[in-house]
Amino acid sequence: MTTPQAPSTGRTLLNKVPEVTIWFWVIKILATTVGETAADYLNGTLGFGLTGTTVVVGAIFLVVLGFQFKARRYIPPLYWATVVLISVVGTLITDNLTDNLGVPLELTTALFTVALALTFAGWYATERTLSIHSIVTRRREAFYWLAILFTFALGTAAGDLIAEKLGAGYWLSALLFAALIGAVAASHLVLGANAVLTFWIAYVLTRPLGASLGDGFSQDKVDGGLGLGTTLTSVIFLVTILAVVSYLAVSKRDQLPPVEAGALR
């Protein structure tokens, strides 16, 4: 089977996403935590309401995403700003469906599972790969960000279903999702499970893990949280993200080597 070629002829392009290191997962979990607390902060503390928060964050996200697409290489601050914003947008999509439209969490979980599966199917059908090590064209990057959007929406729905609908609580939910992520990592590192499959499963699971941690830190003590509030929790995690991203921007420890146009894996 011949592999399709990228649009540019023979030019060396740079991957638009970071290498998957421990730093990747640290920032990802922090970003998902901010996605939960920032949405709550804008919605409740600032009084934007769910609709107003969706409009404001959605507009900012589209602007930042436009810059991300325009960039020719991986730029840590830009990339991770996009991830933080898409985590908020993914959260808001699920919240709008459940809170404004009354769609049950069971149904939203199923719908986003199907949406993510269809995205992967379309991605693989056109590119013959789901690997993040070859995001060197705009089409691949479009599939990549669409998949990430659905992972956040799915993770929000699944996390809320377990933490709220089934009454597991914030900390028990966090332990549960952390254990599941550990099992997925072990299946890859020890048993040799497919790297692409385990990556995306872990990516989905980090969303409810981060959300459970965010709620655990921010919610009142009477509700099982630490009572730090959404403002302080968001600031703490945003400052931590900024520190780690700054370190990576200087050290370049998460930057992949150039990928030849047409190389798919």
Measured between alpha carbons, how far is 56 from 113 in angstroms, rounded to an integer? 26
* Predicted pLDDT at 258: 58
51 contact partners, CB below 8 Å, separation of at least 6: 96, 100
* Predicted pLDDT at 142: 94
* Predicted pLDDT at 31: 87
* Predicted pLDDT at 13: 52
A 10 A CB-CB count for 252 gives 11
* Integer Rg of the chain from CA: 18
- b/e burial code for range 175-210 (CB count within 10 A of at least 16 → b): ebbbebbeebeebbeeeeeeebebbbbbbbbbbbbb
Measured between alpha carbons, how far is 88 from 30 in angstroms, rounded to an integer? 12
* Predicted pLDDT at 9: 35
Could you read off the pLDDT of 206-218 as tens digits, one per residue?
Answer: 988 888 888 888 8
145 contact partners, CB below 8 Å, separation of at least 6: 65, 68, 82, 86
* Predicted pLDDT at 178: 92
Regions of the chain where pLDDT drops below 50: 1-12, 261-265
Q: Which residue has the tokens 């970071």?
A: 18
* Predicted pLDDT at 44: 78
Burial of 109 (0-12, 13-18, 19+ CB in 10 A): buried
Measured between alpha carbons, how far is 48 from 52 in angstroms, rounded to an integer? 5
pTM of full prediction above 0.95: no
| 13 DSSP β-pair partners | 259
Q: What DSSP element (H or E) covers 259?
A: strand 259-260
Alpha helices in the chain (DSSP H): 22-40, 49-70, 76-95, 105-127, 138-160, 170-189, 195-218, 229-251
Alpha helices in 161-228 (DSSP H): 170-189, 195-218
